[in-house]
Amino acid sequence: MFLGQMEQGIISLAIRCAERVRSFLRVSYIRQIVDIFLKHPHLDFRRGLLISFCLGFIVRLIPEILSYPYPIGFDTVYYGARIKSGVVWYHWTSVFSTWLLYAILIPVYQVVRGGPFLLLKFVAPMLYALNVCGVYYFARRALNWSVRKGLVAAFFFAFQLALLRLSWHSYRNMLGLAILLFTLPLFKNTKTKKGFAWLVLLSILVVFSHEYASVIMFTVILGIIASDFLKGERTRILKVVAAIFPALIIFLTSVYLILFPVPFHVETNIITVNDTLNPSSGKLFFLVDYLNVVSPIEHYPTYLDLVSRVFTLFSILYLLWLPLVFVGFFTDKVLNGWTVLLLVGSFNSLITPFFALELWFRWMFMLVYPFTFYAVNAIQKVLESQSKGVAPSFRWMNWMKVSRRGVLGISLSTVLLGTLFMATPLFFGRFGVFSIPNINTYFPSTMLHNTVPLQDVKSTIQVMEWLNTNMIDGSCVVLLDAFQRWSDLYLDKKHTVVSFTIDMEKALNVALKHGFDPIYLIWWRENIGWYGGLTVPSYFESIFSSERISIFKYYTSSYT
């Protein structure tokens, strides 16, 4: 009898809790809480900037804390080695490359010391925070939105899968986009000398930070010039052109040096095997023939395979909140060119697969920037509307309506998906919550890994250190580029590395042609399904292991 009463009490309590949660999740209550915070009497532009920065920093700090002390992100291991090397420019031509991140991090590292990965664990949230507060700044200065609306944009932006994926390891790209967000509003106001000077400086920094940010900036400028020309504002055009002229000269010089490189030699202990194929169209380095690409990231046996991957990635990133983008769409001379360029970069591989902008997925990730502004504009429309739903202004899309409950559901789902991506570890050290076979080469299943699963980082370092001590003269080690990045940190330069990306056999043949003996290999003792599931040839012998990672060796005399 007592157990029955207790059971009824538990059920009753559960029902009451469910009712309270349900009442709390009502849009009106959520809006009241948000209003209390956003309508604070002392909430001004500067405080909004600080709040958005702190929001971005805290959000991006979550995966860094969960993965401590190991790094996350594929390229992050390379950044660690580059910082430790202390080299900003390898040659005078490097001055016209995207060196700004290294110019900032290398001096900082030389002052603070400690491990390079510890510095990068602080840098990643900083770059993320700069982008989040950059979105707030753009909303306020370029779009003339209120502090409240700008903060909503910052919050919505901070949990996006596309932005989290960019921040996973694309630090140069994140730096360039952050500077770009503070640069673009200046194009609308070049009347003052101060604004003109800031535009000159920031546009140069954009060019030194990242190539894609530079292309976006110059595309937006072309759109602004075209708009001003049609309006007859010739003086304004001259000011904009004069302001960005130094940046344009630097950018064109960098393009020239890519097309016509100046030969120079850098001493290295790495022999790189050319086992990939990235065919350019018409010898233009930025245009790719996608149906003939063969690389660890991209390979499309058929056109349908390319279509499948493009739409799968787009659906994962944007399908949930695409209705908000349509409902909130508006025209703006900065956003217009920005959005068109990113849409072309994302989808022209389907229209002209033999002649399309390279790395379509990188352009698709960057769509999160203009899409955020459209989506947040829709959120305001819906919350201010007295009707049950708001439809896009396009006549052919009147059937699509977004309600207040829809806005709440999309917002909560966005936070949930972003949190899962940041905080969920690999299951069994192999698969993450976003493990999707046809896109996992450019969209990781979780943020909590780098070139190897986090559980294998310690083992990777241990086998590198063992190899560094036990390699003999005349030997080499054959490494997949995922492991080669670790060798930059833990192998002395006197040891030769033969690096490959796809074809282990081709790398082995290169090592044989150079006469190395013995030849070492670092790989997993068991097939975990990463990097195409490569298996160790039978003629290799395991000589040292650390948990799942092993060192294999064979002598050339035994190779058949």
DSSP line for 165-203: HHHHH-HHHHHHHHHHHHHGGGGG---SHHHHHHHHHHH
Q: How far apart are CA 164 and CA 271, in angstroms?
A: 33
Residue range 177-225, pLDDT digits in tens: 999 999 999 987 777 888 889 999 999 999 999 999 999 999 999 988 8
pLDDT of 167 higher than 90: yes
Q: What is the pLDDT of residue 16?
A: 53
Return the closest-CA partner of residue 128 out of 84, 165, 74. 165
pLDDT, tens digit (0-9, with 9 covering 90-100), for 331-353: 998 999 999 999 999 999 999 99
Nearest residue to 307 (alpha-carbon basis) of 260, 346, 278, 365 = 346
Q: In 234-367, which ranges are continuous DSSP H helix?
A: 234-259, 303-318, 322-328, 333-351, 360-366
> CA 62 to CA 418: how far, in whole Å?
11
| Residue 152: pLDDT band with limits 50, 70, 90 | very high
Question: Strands across the sheet with 270-272, in order?
Answer: 270-272, 496-500, 476-480, 519-524, 549-554, 541-546
Cα 286 to the chain's mean position, in Å?
19
* Half-sphere exposure at residue 166, Cβ-oriented, CA atoms within 13 angstroms: 29
**For residue 286, what are the contacts with CB-CB under 8 A and spacing of at least 6?**
280, 357, 358
pLDDT digit string, tens, across residues 81-104: 999 988 899 888 888 899 999 999
Sign of the dihedral through C-alpha 528, 531, 532, 534? negative
Strands 519-524 and 280-281: unpaired
Q: Which residue has 């120079």 as its token pair?
A: 264
533 pLDDT more than 80: no
Cα gap 157→149, rounded to integer Å:
12
SS3 (DSSP) at 480: strand
Please name which of 490, 453, 487 lies closest in space to residue 67, comparing C-alpha atoms. Answer: 453
Q: Is the pLDDT of residue 508 over 60?
A: yes
Distances in whole angstroms, Cα of residue 90 to Cα of each of 39, 94, 492: 52, 6, 19
CB 31 within 8 A of CB 408: no
Of 163-177, 430-444, 469-483, minimum mean pLDDT range? 430-444
Other C-beta atoms lying within 10 Å of the C-beta of residue 529:
12
Within 67-115, residue ranges assigned H as helices are: 76-85, 100-112
Q: Which tens digit of pLDDT belongs to each residue from 492-501?
A: 999 999 999 8
What would the pLDDT profile of 15-57 be if each residue is shown by its tens digit? 454 454 445 444 444 455 455 455 555 678 889 999 999 999 9
Which token pair is 7?
């059971």
Q: Name the percent of the chain lying above pLDDT 70.
A: 91
Q: What is residue 156's predicted lDDT score, i.e. its pLDDT? A: 96
Residue 544 pLDDT grade (very low, low, confident, very high; cuts 50, 70, 90): very high
Quote the pTM value.
Answer: 0.90
Q: Would you give the DSSP letter of residue 96?
A: G
User: In the Cβ-directed half-sphere of 478, how many Cα atoms lie within 13 Å?
Assistant: 28
Cβ atoms of 157 and 324 closer than 8 Å: no
The answer for residues whose C-beta is within 8 angstroms of residue 136's C-beta and 6 or more apart is 48, 49, 52, 150, 151, 153, 154
Tens-place pLDDT, residues 395-439 = 777 778 898 999 999 999 999 999 999 999 998 888 888 988 888
Distances (CA, A) of 155 to 25, 58, 122, 519: 18, 12, 20, 52
pLDDT at 12: 53
The residue that leads in pLDDT, 30 or 281, is 281
pLDDT at site 445? 93
pLDDT mean over 107-114? 89
Q: Determine the length of the chain.
A: 560
- pLDDT reported for residue 390: 87
Is the per-residue pLDDT at 7 higher than 70?
Answer: no
E strand or H helix at 288: strand 284-288
**Confidence band (pLDDT; 50, 70, 90) for 227?**
confident
CA 484 → CA 141, 213, 303, distances in Å?
Answer: 45, 28, 32
Distance CA 133, CA 157 (A): 10
pLDDT above 60 for 375: yes
Using DSSP, state whether 30 is helix, strand or coil: helix
Give 528 or 551, the one with higher predicted confidence: 551
Statement: residue 10 has pLDDT above 50: no
**Sheet with 280-281, edge to edge strand ranges:** 280-281, 284-288, 356-357
* pLDDT tens figures, 60-69: 999 999 999 9
Q: Is the CA virtual torsion 69, 74, 79, 81 positive or negative?
A: positive
For residue 473, is pLDDT > 80?
Answer: yes
Structure confidence at residue 558 as a pLDDT band (50, 70, 90): low
Q: Whole-number mean pLDDT of the chain?
A: 87
Which pLDDT value is given to residue 38?
A: 52
Q: Are 439 and 162 in contact (CB under 8 A)?
A: no
Q: How far apart are the first and last CA of the chain?
A: 79
Burial class from Cβ neighbours inside 10 Å (0-12, 13-18, 19+) for residue 4 reads: exposed
Element (H, E) at 523: strand 519-524
Asked if residue 77 has pLDDT above 90, the reply is yes
pLDDT at 461 over 80: yes
Give residue 17's pLDDT: 45
Q: Are 485 and 76 in contact (CB under 8 A)?
A: no
Q: What is the pLDDT of residue 235?
A: 80
